[in-house]
Amino acid sequence: MPAKRTFVKTKQPTSVVTGGAGFLGSHLTDLLLERGHRVIAIDNLVTGAVKNIAHLAGNSQFKFINQDVTEYIYLDEPVQYVWHFASPASPIDYLEIPIKTLKVGSLGTHKALGLAKAKGARFLIASTSEIYGDPLVHPQREEYWGNVNTIGPRSCYDEAKRFGEALTMAYHREHGVEVRIVRIFNTYGPRMRLNDGRVVPAFISQALQNKPLTVFGEGNQTRSFCYCSDLIAGIYRLMNSSVDEPVNIGNPHEMTVLEFAKEIIQATGSRSKIVFKALPQDDPKQRRPDITRARTRLKWEPKVSLQEGLIKTIDHFRGRL
């Protein structure tokens, strides 16, 4: 293994955010700009949207590059941080663009790591709780290796992220690249795509239109919802820490999907009813992060309550329907 690189902070660091026009990438970009970074966002707009970063037009500290990150990334300037967020991340995407999902998780991660290696930059990969699959261990700790169907319809996302983690650690071991791995659990907030198939925008959009809320199975499967500002704050702490092991970032408050549907109906004041449909293949039955590592190593835990986060998210969606 080569000698570990010496990482030197500069007065104004430059951050590259792949997937910078996406839901989480755009929120990360905002935080980095607030913290004094110069930000270069790279996105091919397959699932990202210009409207997520439109408010940054004219900001001299922000640059947008429309590019597929599976292609070689060339920048002729110093870079201190690479935040790799480029990836489709919804069930609809898994079904419609599975090959693109696999390519950005493999080739895209390779190109982003290559940039970090060339620039001597610190690298963070946005991994996911989906690497645990339909977990047999609850709550999920970072030491758990997961229970993933490698050929199922969700495997294009699950396996792309698992490969991305493996490639990230290979660059760390072979090339001495400083790396960070965040495993993101269910996150919600403004700028989510309205029809991306995930439970939060699906329920909110249905409720605001007084349409039936679609619950799969009997609604007994559980999820844990973290507001986007909490998540991004945790990721920022991870990048600036010395932790090179995977870290779960999410909200450990667990609830059933049926309970969440009722919460949405109440929060929106909707007249919607609840309807039940068959559970999709490989849909995880339980999902709750063990955030002991984040609490002890990063001194981080979520602060925004579900009620507070839903108010902000619902207000955002009201303006889009």
- Whether residue 187 lies inside any domain: the answer is yes
- Whether residue 209 lies inside any domain: the answer is no
What percent of the chain lies above the pLDDT cut of 90? 89
pLDDT for 216-251, tens place per residue?
A: 999 999 999 999 999 999 999 999 999 999 999 999
- Whether residue 211 lies inside any domain: the answer is no
- CATH code, domain with 296: 3.40.50.720
The whole-number pLDDT of residue 198 equals 87
Query: Residue 180: is its pLDDT beyond 90?
Result: yes
Q: How many domains does the chain have?
A: 1
The whole-number pLDDT of residue 320 equals 79
Average pLDDT over residues 163-186: 98
- Whether residue 90 lies inside any domain: the answer is yes
Tokens encoding 300:
């981080």
The whole-number pLDDT of residue 94 equals 84
The whole-number pLDDT of residue 234 equals 98
The whole-number pLDDT of residue 10 equals 58
Tokens encoding 256:
């059933």
Ordered DSSP codes for 186-252:
-EE-TT--TTSS-HHHHHHHHHHTTPPEEEETTS--EEE-EEHHHHHHHHHHHHTSS--SEEEES--
Average pLDDT over residues 184-192: 96
How confident is residue 51, by pLDDT bands cut at 50, 70 and 90? very high
Q: Would residue 52 be called left, alpha or beta, if left means φ above 0 and alpha means ψ between -120 and 50 degrees?
A: alpha
3-state SS track over 100-118: HHHHHHHHHHHHHHHHHHH
pLDDT for 143-152, tens place per residue?
A: 999 999 999 9
d(CA 306, CA 311): 9
How wide is the angle at C-alpha 126 spanned by C-alphas 120 and 131, nearest 5°? 130
Task: From residue 312, give the alpha-carbon distance in Å to each of 15, 131, 267.
Answer: 28, 29, 11
Predicted TM-score (pTM) of this structure:
0.93
d(CA 47, CA 312): 22
- Whether residue 133 lies inside any domain: the answer is yes
One-letter amino acid at 141 equals R
Query: Residue 9: is its pLDDT beyond 60?
Result: no
The whole-number pLDDT of residue 195 equals 80
Query: Residue 280: is its pLDDT beyond 90?
Result: no
How wide is the angle at C-alpha 267 spanned by C-alphas 260 and 194, nearest 5°? 75
Start-to-end C-alpha separation, the chain: 54
pLDDT for 67-87, tens place per residue?
A: 999 999 999 999 999 999 999
Query: Residue 7: is its pLDDT beyond 80?
Result: no
The whole-number pLDDT of residue 5 equals 53
CA proximity to 132, closest of 241, 246, 231, 18: 246
Write out the catalytic residue numbers: 157
The whole-number pLDDT of residue 167 equals 98
- Whether residue 159 lies inside any domain: the answer is yes
Tokens encoding 192:
């989510």
Total residue length of the chain? 321
- Whether residue 169 lies inside any domain: the answer is yes
CB 180 within 8 A of CB 241: yes
Average pLDDT over residues 98-121: 98
Query: Residue 92: is its pLDDT beyond 80?
Result: yes
Residue 47 lies in domain? 14-191+225-253+288-303
Give the range among 12-16, 92-96, 280-284, 295-299 with minimum mean pLDDT: 280-284
Is residue 183 within a helix (H) or strand (E), and if so which, with residue range?
A: strand 179-184
β-strands 222-224, 254-256 pairing: antiparallel
What average pLDDT is seen over the chain?
Answer: 94
Average pLDDT over residues 126-142: 95
Q: Which residues of 262-280 are buried (b: 16+ CB within 10 A; e: fewer)?
A: bbbbebbebebebeeeeee
Average pLDDT over residues 115-126: 98
- Whether residue 268 lies inside any domain: the answer is no
CA proximity to 106, closest of 145, 158, 161: 161
What percent of the chain lies above the pLDDT cut of 70? 97
The whole-number pLDDT of residue 194 equals 83
Task: From residue 164, give the alpha-carbon distance in Å to each of 19, 35, 101, 122, 168.
Answer: 15, 27, 12, 16, 6
Query: Residue 49: is its pLDDT beyond 80?
Result: yes
Query: Residue 3: is its pLDDT beyond 60?
Result: no
Tokens 């998540």 label which residue?
Answer: 231
Query: Residue 43: is its pLDDT beyond 90?
Result: yes
The whole-number pLDDT of residue 284 equals 82
Query: Residue 17: is its pLDDT beyond 90?
Result: yes
Whether a cis peptide bond, with omega within 30° of 0, leads into 139 is yes
The whole-number pLDDT of residue 190 equals 96
Q: Going by C-beta distance under 8 Å and a sequence separation of 6 or more, which residues neighbour residue 143? A: none
